[in-house]
Amino acid sequence: MQIQLLTAEVELLTAGVRLLTAEVEPLTAGVRLLTAEVVPLTAEVEPLTAEVRLLTAEVEPLTAEVVPLTAEVEPLTAEVRLLTDEVVPLTVGVRLLTAKVKSQAGVCLLIVGL
């Protein structure tokens, strides 16, 4: 009787294993398909990664040069802003004077014409 129970249990376990195998096999096939797609992509990406490393190696020294230049330019930019603040009102003044001179020139031409 015990052997029959054990046999029944083993048969149930075997059936469970078959069901799991039936579920796993399509997943394994899917993984194989994905692997087949990924391998060529990896082959394409590897040379690009090598190029990026080379470009990074070229850019890093340039970045090191730019940082001190930026430090030099920032104070000059601040000076330019200050000068711009001074020049704008002067430009407005020059425009007003130009308008006055033009109107005075018009009056002079009228007087000379008389």
**Tens of pLDDT, residue by residue, the chain (114 residues):** 888 888 999 999 999 999 999 999 999 999 999 999 999 999 999 999 999 999 999 999 999 999 999 999 999 999 999 999 999 898 988 898 888 888 887 777 667 766
Asked whether residue 34 is assigned to any structural domain, the reply reads: yes
Asked whether residue 112 is assigned to any structural domain, the reply reads: no
Asked whether residue 100 is assigned to any structural domain, the reply reads: no
pTM, two decimal places = 0.40
Q: What amino acid occupies position 113?
A: G
Asked whether residue 107 is assigned to any structural domain, the reply reads: no
Asked whether residue 101 is assigned to any structural domain, the reply reads: no
Asked whether residue 104 is assigned to any structural domain, the reply reads: no
pLDDT at 114: 63
Q: What amino acid occupies position 50?
A: A
Asked whether residue 36 is assigned to any structural domain, the reply reads: yes
Number of domains in the chain: 1
Measured from the Cβ of residue 97, the count of other Cβ atoms closer than 10 Å reads 10
